[in-house]
């Protein structure tokens, strides 16, 4: 259960447990195998603010490829302090594409050859494609964590959300979600 009990300065990576805005991201973006599904259920809505934010990462990837080309976009990575490249943001494997994204004090977008140009456009596309979701008591969402970025606006009051992270069981008809999404779907 996520209950705002800290401020971001209390602990590194604590923004999700605070009342501050949370930029769009994919969950566990630095893990080798991030969960493929994310479910979120609002138990106590915020007094003011706290709207969810979702972004179709496939749209962002397609727009970025259209502007810079597939090779340049493949070079966009997450970077951490002291490390140039940690994870590719836009990965492809076996006909599937995955997006891993975060932009905070732990990791941020980076490109070896064109850092300012491509990362600025990536951030702008995410901002422009962000769609707010008003979440009242009992409202929630289920999303594909390899395709959809999510975040929230700042809020006041006691907002309580239950979240579930999961992978689809192998052998299930939807187990392909664990590999990502087909580029043709973007």
Q: Tell me the Ramachandran region of residue 50: left when phi exceeds 0, alpha when psi lies from -120 to 50, beta otherwise.
A: left
Q: Which residues pair with 151 in a beta bridge?
A: 53
5 within some domain: no
Q: How many domains does the chain have?
A: 1
The answer to whether residues 2 and 17 touch, using CB atoms and an 8 Å cutoff, is yes
Does any domain span residue 4? no
Q: What's the CA gap between 182 and 80, in Å, rounded?
A: 28
Q: Got the DSSP string for 93-142?
A: ETTEEEE----SSS-EEEESS-HHHHHHHHHHHHHHH-EEE---TT-EEE
pLDDT tens for each residue of the chain, 186 residues long: 665 655 555 556 667 778 999 999 999 999 999 999 999 999 999 999 999 999 999 999 999 999 999 999 999 999 997 676 788 999 998 899 999 999 998 999 999 887 789 999 999 999 999 999 999 999 999 999 999 999 999 999 989 999 999 999 999 999 999 999 987 655
6 within some domain: no
Residue with tokens 């043709």: 184
Is 39 among the domain residues? yes
CATH number reported for the structural domain that contains residue 88 in this entry = 3.60.130.10
Both structure tokens of 31? 């893990």
Which one, of 91, 58, 70, lies nearest residue 185 by Cα? 58
Say if pTM beats, i.e. exceeds, 0.85.
Answer: yes
Domain membership of residue 131 as a residue range: 15-185
Would residue 8 count as lying in a domain? no
Q: CA neighbours within 13 Å on the CB side: how many for 18?
A: 15
């Amino acid at each position: 259960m996520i209950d705002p009990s800290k401020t971001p300065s209390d602990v590194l990576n604590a923004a999700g447990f605070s009342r501050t805005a949370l930029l769009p991201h994919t969950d566990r973006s630095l893990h080798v195998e991030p969960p493929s599904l994310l479910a979120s259920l609002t138990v106590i809505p915020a007094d003011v603010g706290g709207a969810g934010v979702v972004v179709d990462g496939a749209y962002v990837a397609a727009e970025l490829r259209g502007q810079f080309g597939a090779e340049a976009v493949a070079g966009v990575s997450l970077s951490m302090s002291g490390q140039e490249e940690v994870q590719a943001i836009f990965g492809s494997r076996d006909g599937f594409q995955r997006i891993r994204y975060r932009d905070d004090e732990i990791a941020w977008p980076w490109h070896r050859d064109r850092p300012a140009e491509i990362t600025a456009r990536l951030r702008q596309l995410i901002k422009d494609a962000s769609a707010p979701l008003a979440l009242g008591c009992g409202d929630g969402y289920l999303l594909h964590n390899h395709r959809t970025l999510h975040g929230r606006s700042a809020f006041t009051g006691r907002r309580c959300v239950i979240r579930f992270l999961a992978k689809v069981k192998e052998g299930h008809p939807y187990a392909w979600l664990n590999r990502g999404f087909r580029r043709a779907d973007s």
